[in-house]
Amino acid sequence: MENKDMQAVNTPKLNKATIIVHSGDMDKIYSALIIGNGALSMGMEVSLYFTFFGLQRLKKGELDKGPLSKMNMLGLGKMMIKKRMDKANVASLEKMITDFKELGGKILACDMTMEVMGVKPEDLRQDLISDYCSVGTYIKEAMESSMTLFI
Amino acid sequence: MENKDMQAVNTPKLNKATIIVHSGDMDKIYSALIIGNGALSMGMEVSLYFTFFGLQRLKKGELDKGPLSKMNMLGLGKMMIKKRMDKANVASLEKMITDFKELGGKILACDMTMEVMGVKPEDLRQDLISDYCSVGTYIKEAMESSMTLFI
Amino acid sequence: MENKDMQAVNTPKLNKATIIVHSGDMDKIYSALIIGNGALSMGMEVSLYFTFFGLQRLKKGELDKGPLSKMNMLGLGKMMIKKRMDKANVASLEKMITDFKELGGKILACDMTMEVMGVKPEDLRQDLISDYCSVGTYIKEAMESSMTLFI
């Protein structure tokens, strides 16, 4: 068993989280960034890999668009939610993603999604994106991560 | 590389699963509890971190409410599904979550969701909740887990 | 801490990904297979565990049915998407899942879902399925995996 153990772990793990952001739902983007910023604050490396509907949110002007529509489904009015989020010190997505970058987080954009959807680099928030890459890059990041999520 | 390896694994891993329950969909709650109870039965530690729509399900009277509506989407009538679930020995969510607690599982409630949604501890199933906490606690749990999921 | 470390890792990890395919959404099935094939190409073992709505996609004739309906939500017409996917060399799901099997990937079907939904083995793509099994098998696969996702 111990010998198998030694052979088994063939990729050294970093204290790192790699998160696929597939969904474009506002609440899911919040979750991704709350987890990402939390992990960075606690000393982990973090890569967010934006793909499919998630990548749409990285288009210019899309990040905080309609931010409360989904939240409304929880049964509260827009103003009420806004007030409560302020009171609970929940930042806007724009603030959160800027913090994420400043804390050293990495944002990867899925180039296959870009090609299929006809999205060009200049359509995207290039100030936020660390790299444009394909699934191979994601797998490499995930293989060295101790924590993987699909959101 | 071997030196890096030694430094890389800086958080000892327990045989433990930490699962974020973000969705409130009935079928997703089923999945979370089936996986959670399965993992506990096989000797793992398990923490479920309820947040966003998932946390709404921990309000009093919400867990088994409308349990079959989503299942109906699979194209079967309510009575038919109920009969088949009984036949397949699939327990109610109430039974499953009680089993989860008895098997030693931990249920964590996201305090940011509570604050934003105006949910008070007394609105929630306090008999089920082990602790009220924030993303930092989740990250700590996840860092020592060998298995992480976002549901 | 070092002693705890030694005890903590009680399941040897393989260079392996175990992915639950819970969703039946076309874009999520794409993501699961793109990740699965990418991981196989890079030398990982991969198990896909199909359950709930995901399992419905393994019924005969269901895999590529209405493949673009969900993609349409990104705001492009069906023909346009089809042309772009061809141009971007994105294969059909049928091609992808066949590649997945040929690369040595394992497809597991959740027997509880089958029983609840009244799905029989002969209703399913038996040419693709490696095994019919329950949550215990999934946990065993996940426990020896270095990467776990819930899609």
Rounded distance, CA B46 to CA B48, Å? Answer: 7
- Residue A85 scores a pLDDT above 80: no
Choice between A135 and A3, residue whose per-residue pLDDT is larger: A135
- Residue B9 scores a pLDDT above 60: no
Chain B: closest CA distance from residue C51 (Å): 9
| Residue A127, both tokens | 């100030």
Its pTM stands at 0.89
- Residue A5 scores a pLDDT above 50: no
Quote the distance between the C-alpha of residue B16 and its chain's center: 14
Quote the distance between the C-alpha of residue A91 and its chain's center: 16
Quote the distance between the C-alpha of residue A42 and its chain's center: 17
Chain C interface, best mutation among B35, B37, B49, by max C CB count within 10 A:
B35
C15 part of contact set with chain B, CB < 8 Å: no
- Residue A106 scores a pLDDT above 70: yes
Render C72-131 in DSSP notation, one character per residue: HTTS--HHHHHHHHHHTTPPPHHHHHHHHHHTT-EEEEEHHHHHHHT--GGGB-TTT-SE
Which residue ranges of chain C lie beneath pLDDT 70?
A: 1-10, 66-81
Question: pLDDT grade, residue B3 (50/70/90)?
Answer: very low
Amino acid at C91: A
Rounded distance, CA B83 to CA B78, Å? Answer: 9
pLDDT tens digits for range A17-56: 999 999 988 889 999 999 999 999 999 999 999 999 899 9
CA distances from A133 to A109, A110, A137, C27 (A): 6, 5, 6, 19
| Residue C13, both tokens | 């990890």
Rounded distance, CA C100 to CA C94, Å? Answer: 10
What is the average pLDDT value for chain B, to the nearest integer? 86
Q: ipTM of the assembly?
A: 0.87
A74: CB partners within 8 A, 6+ apart: A81, B53, B56, B117
What confidence score (pLDDT) does residue A14 get? 87
The count of other CB atoms within 10 Å of the CB of residue A143 is 21
pLDDT tens digits for range B62-97: 988 754 445 555 556 666 767 777 777 788 899 999
Contact list in B for residue A84 (CB cut-off 8 A) is 115-118
| Residue C64, both tokens | 């590529």
- Closest residue in A to B151 (Cα) is A151
Q: C17-150 adopts what CATH topology?
A: Hypothetical Protein Ychn; Chain: A, (3.40.1260)
- Across the interface, whether the CB atoms of C148 and A148 are under 8 A apart is answered yes
What confidence score (pLDDT) does residue C135 get? 96
Rounded distance, CA C118 to CA C146, Å? Answer: 34
Chain C: closest CA distance from residue A84 (Å): 31
What confidence score (pLDDT) does residue B6 get? 36
Rounded distance, CA A43 to CA A34, Å? Answer: 14
- Residue B138 scores a pLDDT above 80: yes
Rounded distance, CA C82 to CA C131, Å? Answer: 33
- Across the interface, whether the CB atoms of A15 and B13 are under 8 A apart is answered no
Tell me phi and psi for residue C18, to 5 degrees. -120, 120
Nearest to B148 among A28, A90, A148 (CB): A148
C92 part of contact set with chain A, CB < 8 Å: no
Tell me phi and psi for residue B19, to 5 degrees. -120, 125
- Residue A74 scores a pLDDT above 80: no
CB burial of C76-87 (b: ≥16 within 10 Å; e: otherwise) equals beeeebeebbee
- Residue A7 scores a pLDDT above 80: no
A11 part of contact set with chain B, CB < 8 Å: no
Q: Which CATH code, of 1.10.287.10, 3.40.1260.10, 3.40.630.40, 3.40.50.970, is assigned to B15-150? A: 3.40.1260.10
What confidence score (pLDDT) does residue A46 get? 98
Nearest to B22 among A13, A31, A44 (CB): A31
Nearest 10 degrees: Cα torsion C39, A37, B57, A75: -120
| Residue B122, both tokens | 């007394």
Chains that touch A (3 or more CB pairs under 8 A): B, C
CA angle B40/B42/B43 to nearest 5° reads: 65
CA distances from A142 to A19, A88, A145, B32, C33 (A): 8, 33, 5, 23, 16
